[in-house]
Chains A and B, each alone.
Chain A
Amino acid sequence: MIERGDNLVDEISAPDLSEIVGRGPWELFWMRFREDKVALVSFGVIVAIVLVAIFAPFIVDVLGHPPNAQYPNTLNDVGTPVTGPSADFLFGVDKVGEDVFSRVVYGARVSLEVALFSTAIAVFVGVIAGMVAGFYRGLADTLISRFIDVMLAFPVLLLAMGVASACAIGNGCLNGLIKPGVPTVVAVIAIINWTYIGRIIRGQVLSLREKEFVEAARASGAGDVSILFREILPNLVAPIVVYTTLVIPQNILLEAALSYLGVGVGVQQASWGQMISDSTQYFNIAWWYFTFPGAALLITVLAFNLLGDGIRDALDPRTVEVT
């Protein structure tokens, strides 16, 4: 049995009922989540990565060199990066003599920035589209659902590459609305990602709208907007949270893949995918060149995946009896 927290409920309830305590869903979630050591460690790792991203300039100041500074004397005569991990260059140097360590540290910024913003936009758009489709049904549902079908029929990576390469030049696309660099990659990932959550939310809303509490709200005179946001939305929080934490690692990988394919945030900013791509010519000479960015990517994605699993298990009421 999981031990109870020292909360007010104990003091209020009658002594003979002390074993039976009314607990809110979030209290139950927290009780289960804090037992999950793997998820807690993953959360710690994510916090650490976020801190690294925020304090990148300070870290690089102490332990490395500026991310775009080139040190030609670390290359040999024909320009091959021959300086491996050492006290001066912790993770070695890359093909133009830049500090791999500094670029890995700065790469965390791009990775997290893109993943968080694109996920936020995708979830926002997907939730709105899914709620409208599921709640109003009829023509709105047909249009939205069929559009999602078409989006899902696209080869995802090709669509992403196409839009990303188109927006990556000059002033960007849509009259400069989507600027090259981080905004382009964020937009691309959001465009191909909102459909998944849109579908999930639509399905949930389809069943929620038939529930008694919606009927009750309508009977008491609530309008559509009020029902959608005050009655239905709170019931969607659990699937939204689960989906969001599980899709963030996918988006980190997608950003890295786009950068690897040369249609990412651009060469000015250090990105893990871009570094792995650059290392391809030298991978048999400079093992550090692809190992460290890849490891950073792996650790970040793994931490988010483990946290996502933990959150899903803790939110799923069915896991109570299993554990």
Chain B
Amino acid sequence: MSQPINNEATNTPRPSRPGGGLRSSVAGYARTTKGVLFSSMFRYIVRRLIWGVLMLLVVSALTFVIFYLLPAGDPAAIRAGRYATPARIEQIRHQLGLDRPVYYQYWVYMKALVVHFDFGTSFKTNLPVRGEIFRRLPVTFSVAIGAVIIWVAIGIPVGIISAIKSRSWLDRVTMGGSLVAISAPVYWLGLIALFLFSKDVGVIKVFGGSGSYVPFFQDPAAWFSSLILPWFVLAAAFTAFYARMVRGNLIETMNEDFIRTARAKGLSERRVVFRHGLRAALTPVVTMAGLDIGTLLGGAVLTETVFNIPGIGRLAYDSIIGSDLPMIQGTVLLGAFFIISANLIVDVLYAFLDPRVRY
């Protein structure tokens, strides 16, 4: 489970510097008239875009340095096979450009990427990295979308009910259960799910098992059947985390003055909770969901590994184990791209969702 590490994000003080990186607040901008408002918002977005591109550059450079200075294996030797002569390995090293200095290799890589949108070719398969990544992107997208729907559809209502019935036995049971879900390793849950429900080896043979993924357009029913277990397993910890977060936010919101005002003017409790309380309580949840979706689109490594789903996460895992540098670079950049984009989108959305933030 990689996400709940982020769970301090909702109460972390945000840097208010303009263009201030991830999750920076957009508060503090000029409160001005409409025309100026639009242009200042536009400038803000441009500034964030430039910073985002810069970050991608730094991430790519760091990835390069990490994987060249600390090689897990010699890519040339791996490529050459087990019985290659040293001369053959040297020849391959030259072919791959690995005998050139790091900065030169980086320059060549970035030039191809910027000019031709070319991510290079895999050291292992000799196929273009771009093609491989785009081929697997729909797979990872399939995994993410179902999990997101499950955790939003279950996590938020459970959180709301727990908050309204705070300190009841129902609240205690669901919050206790959610902590168990957060504490369980996702790949272990995956194995248990396969053990219980997979078609091939499960106790109750209902859903597709490990390695049963088929693309949606090939066979939607089989696609659904193969993903139902990964969706629930991946969503388990997120559902629990969101339920706890919604509960905490809503309880805190319900103690605020404007809720007392709403009650004092005679609104029904239902209206107070759903029209006034939830609006404030769910804003940080939307932020968090955006960031989590961004991270997931970069590949759910553990879930894809345990269910043997050929997505980006599985690709990244195989590339790192096989020292396939261009493929590693491609997947890391893709992951960083989604994380940075999600941050940008969330920060801009925040301004629309939170009436206190104005440009």
- Which residues of B are found within 8 Å of A302, using beta-carbon distances? 179-180, 183
Interface residues as binary, A193-221 with B (CB distance below 8 Å gives 1, 0 otherwise):
10010011001101100000000000000
Interface residues as binary, A218-243 with B (CB distance below 8 Å gives 1, 0 otherwise):
00000000000000000000000001
Closest residue of chain A to B23 (Cβ to Cβ) is A152
B215 within 8 A of A: no
B58 within 8 A of A: yes
Mark out the residues of chain B between 1 and 36 whose CB falls within 8 Å of any chain A CB in the assembled complex.
1-2, 4-8, 12-15, 17, 20-22
In the complex, what's the smallest C-beta–C-beta distance from B178 to chain A, in angstroms? 10
Closest residue of chain A to B16 (Cβ to Cβ) is A206
In the complex, the answer to whether A168 meets B72 with C-beta atoms within 8 Å is yes
Alpha-carbon gap, A14 to B156, bound state (A): 52
B320 within 8 A of A: yes
Known: A156-B5, A200-B8. A149 touches B21 (CB 8 A): yes
Known: A153-B55, A155-B298, A276-B187. A163 touches B179 (CB 8 A): no
B216 within 8 A of A: no
In the complex, the answer to whether A280 meets B185 with C-beta atoms within 8 Å is no
In the complex, the answer to whether B301 meets A166 with C-beta atoms within 8 Å is no
In the complex, the answer to whether A157 meets B183 with C-beta atoms within 8 Å is no
- Which residues of A are found within 8 Å of B192, using beta-carbon distances? 290, 294
Most central of A153, A207, A301 by chain B CB within 10 Å:
A153
In the complex, the answer to whether A162 meets B328 with C-beta atoms within 8 Å is yes
A161 within 8 A of B: yes
Mark out the residues of chain A between 58 and 92 whose CB falls within 8 Å of any chain B CB in the assembled complex.
none
B336 within 8 A of A: yes
In the complex, what's the smallest C-beta–C-beta distance from A44 to chain B, in angstroms? 17
Mark out the residues of chain B between 31 and 74 whose CB falls within 8 Å of any chain A CB in the assembled complex.
55-56, 58-59, 62-63, 66-67, 69-73
In the complex, the answer to whether A166 meets B188 with C-beta atoms within 8 Å is no
A305 within 8 A of B: yes
- Which residues of B are found within 8 Å of A276, using beta-carbon distances? 185, 187-188, 191
In the complex, what's the smallest C-beta–C-beta distance from B33 to chain A, in angstroms? 31
In the complex, what's the smallest C-beta–C-beta distance from B238 to chain A, in angstroms? 14
Mark out the residues of chain B between 313 and 359 whose CB falls within 8 Å of any chain A CB in the assembled complex.
316-317, 320-321, 328, 331-332, 335-336, 339-340, 343
In the complex, the answer to whether B328 meets A249 with C-beta atoms within 8 Å is no
Known: A145-B15, A284-B201, A298-B188. A166 touches B183 (CB 8 A): no
Interface residues as binary, B285-306 with A (CB distance below 8 Å gives 1, 0 otherwise):
0000000000100110110011
In the complex, what's the smallest C-beta–C-beta distance from A204 to chain B, in angstroms? 7
Chain B interfacial residues counted at CB < 8 A: 61
- Which residues of A are found within 8 Å of B58, using beta-carbon distances? 150
Known: A145-B20, A156-B2. A257 touches B187 (CB 8 A): yes
In the complex, the answer to whether A305 meets B182 with C-beta atoms within 8 Å is yes
In the complex, the answer to whether B12 meets A200 with C-beta atoms within 8 Å is yes
Closest residue of chain B to A273 (Cβ to Cβ) is B185
- Which residues of B are found within 8 Å of A260, using beta-carbon distances? 185, 187, 302, 305
- Which residues of A are found within 8 Å of B317, using beta-carbon distances? 161, 261
Mark out the residues of chain B between 254 and 301 whose CB falls within 8 Å of any chain A CB in the assembled complex.
295, 298-299, 301
Interface residues as binary, A280-316 with B (CB distance below 8 Å gives 1, 0 otherwise):
1001100100100010011001100110010000000
B235 within 8 A of A: no
- Which residues of A are found within 8 Å of B8, using beta-carbon distances? 196, 199-200, 243, 246
B195 within 8 A of A: yes
Known: A166-B70, A196-B8. A150 touches B185 (CB 8 A): no
In the complex, the answer to whether B59 meets A154 with C-beta atoms within 8 Å is yes
- Which residues of B are found within 8 Å of A262, using beta-carbon distances? 321
Alpha-carbon gap, A215 to B6, bound state (A): 34
Partner of B67, one of A162, A249, A261, A290: A162
Alpha-carbon gap, A174 to B65, bound state (A): 13
A253 within 8 A of B: yes
Alpha-carbon gap, A173 to B66, bound state (A): 11
In the complex, the answer to whether A253 meets B1 with C-beta atoms within 8 Å is yes
Closest residue of chain A to B52 (Cβ to Cβ) is A153
Partner of A146, one of B2, B12, B21: B21
- Which residues of B are found within 8 Å of A1, using beta-carbon distances? none
- Which residues of A are found within 8 Å of B6, using beta-carbon distances? 196
- Which residues of B are found within 8 Å of A158, using beta-carbon distances? 298-299, 301, 316, 320, 328, 331-332, 335
B250 within 8 A of A: no
Partner of A203, one of B13, B180, B301: B13
Known: A290-B188, A298-B184. A261 touches B72 (CB 8 A): no
- Which residues of A are found within 8 Å of B67, using beta-carbon distances? 162, 166
Alpha-carbon gap, A188 to B298, bound state (A): 20
Alpha-carbon gap, A215 to B21, bound state (A): 30
In the complex, the answer to whether B336 meets A280 with C-beta atoms within 8 Å is no
- Which residues of B are found within 8 Å of A152, using beta-carbon distances? 22, 339
In the complex, what's the smallest C-beta–C-beta distance from A152 to chain B, in angstroms? 5
Closest residue of chain A to B195 (Cβ to Cβ) is A283
25 A-B Cβ contacts within 8 A?
A149-B55, A150-B55, A154-B336, A155-B335, A156-B2, A159-B66, A161-B301, A163-B66, A165-B321, A166-B71, A199-B8, A203-B12, A203-B15, A207-B13, A257-B1, A261-B317, A290-B188, A290-B195, A297-B184, A298-B180, A298-B185, A301-B183, A301-B184, A302-B183, A305-B179
| Interface residues of B, Cβ cutoff 8 Å to A | 1-2, 4-8, 12-15, 17, 20-22, 55-56, 58-59, 62-63, 66-67, 69-73, 179-180, 182-185, 187-188, 191-192, 194-195, 201-202, 295, 298-299, 301-302, 305-306, 316-317, 320-321, 328, 331-332, 335-336, 339-340, 343
Given contacts A145-B15, A154-B335, A155-B332, 18 further A-B contacts (CB under 8 A): A150-B55, A152-B22, A153-B56, A153-B339, A155-B339, A157-B301, A157-B302, A158-B328, A203-B15, A243-B8, A257-B302, A276-B188, A276-B191, A280-B191, A283-B195, A290-B192, A294-B191, A294-B192
